Chain A
Amino acid sequence: MNPLDHTLDLCAARVMDDAAVQDAQARLEAVIAARVAGRAAAPRRTRRVGGWLAAAASAAAAVLAIVWLPLNPTPAFAAVQKHFRDFQTLRFVIDQNVEGQPTIQTRVQATRSGNVRTEVGDDVIVIVNSAEARVLTLIRPSRMAIVSPLAHRVEEDDALKWLKDIREFQGVAQALPEPRVIDGQQVFGWQLQTEGIDMVLWATAEGLPLQMTMNPAAQLQLDFHFEFDVPLAPGSFSTEVPAGYRVGTPED
């Protein structure tokens, strides 16, 4: 082995102990709280808390309060689930692979209040605005915009069913033996199965999920890359028809 690669392996094998990380994290949060309090006079953005995700989280919490502890495999996986239940914003990318070949990428932004923006490849954008009960679909190649009423609740959307499954998962999540590194962070794997679909979730030592792999069908693999509570632009969920688009109907 190249001596430099050996040096790198030795350096990568060094691990900071968890107690030191937790102590530093507590001090960081205190410093930030003090700084934010010092800036309290400045105008602040307000966030709506409520909607379908909040209701779902509350309902899940109520049920889980009764059945959670005896069924939950380990506290660590509970921390992973907690992120999926408690987020204010969630941004994720789904890379779809068929027979090992990358096909289409989907980018999703969601808020706790039930707004969802989905960009499928480069051609289609679907924006669900729960407060306005409107859906805007943009077809980029033909510059067409379709505005429609929100026909059903967002949580009934099949595209987000995996989220509900993870939140409500009460089976055994098997911890994988080997950690790996994603985006510079050491992560630990959890393997679980919901309704016959295999999932592997990778989360930090604090339970923050960064990646998930799902195999919903033979030869089909979906790779999810998560970011929790990151800032999203307010315009992301606007259902106004953008300039340059003509308004069409689903029949078009």
Chain B
Amino acid sequence: MRELSYRDALNEAIAEEMARDPSVFLMGEEVGYYNGAYKVSRGLLERFGPERVIDTPIAESGFAGVGVGAAMTGLRPIIEFMTWNFSFVAIDQVVNSAAKMFQMSGGQYKIPIVFRGPNASARQVGSQHSQSLDAIYTNFPGLYVVYPATPRDAKGLLKMAIRDDNPVVFLEGEILYNHKGEVPDEGADELIPFGQARVAREGTDVTVVTWGRPYYTVMEVAKELEAEGISCEVIDPRTLRPLDHASIVKSVKKTNRCVVVHEHWPYGGPGAEIVDRVQREAFDDLDAPVLRATNLDVPMPYAVELENDVIVTKERIRKTILQSLYRS
């Protein structure tokens, strides 16, 4: 094991898969000569050449569609959105083309494609650049939705996504790129399967389910609460579709309480989906209503004080956990 940033873990995943399979290519805005808007593709142009690391004009719908067409005809594209916010102008290709093609064609055309890029809030980039799209893309059958929090998960899940024959929406936490963590040594070729949650911290009093950016805030809160005698079990589903609800339910049956913490807006989405499943499948085991701590239900403001409050805060997470324990 060694320490690697989330960014470099993703970079390694792409490089290893491109080296392994010549049908894999990377396409997007500024991925080549600029080395990536967030430097995830640093060095890849130099190593693999402009035929496989392809800069595009600002035309998300166009290059997302080119990716799907290439996937239909035997290639394995990695399509980078400079941010997932820009995928709105290409959502027709992600949903109507990529997600539906295999079924619409009666099981003929597989779409082995990864759409990836930074997701959710960063720092003061305003409402059009701060959205978390997990709530949208999880709604569509035919897509896998992956959202790693740690560098190790980022690498292992991205490699897996590239090798799978289905379209994958791969959400990277924009604020997480510099985050460092342990990653298996080069050449370890770790592939992390989808639909398997990771228990990030074992505990006995309450199950906290979280993913993406708030994962780190939750881990901090859990540490603080431990000092106060409260034991949190933290579960990161890692993939939101498929969702490993069995692991979540199993944990809730042990702790009898559940809090879901996420960055997408509170209306619907995987956050609400998890609550639904827990209430149905662990109804007899619950000692309190399943609660959620989320971003506030407003478009992201620019002003720093407001932004800090809209993004699911440490205080709200702590308060919600205490509430579920009837200690607030």
User: Are both chains from one complex?
Assistant: no
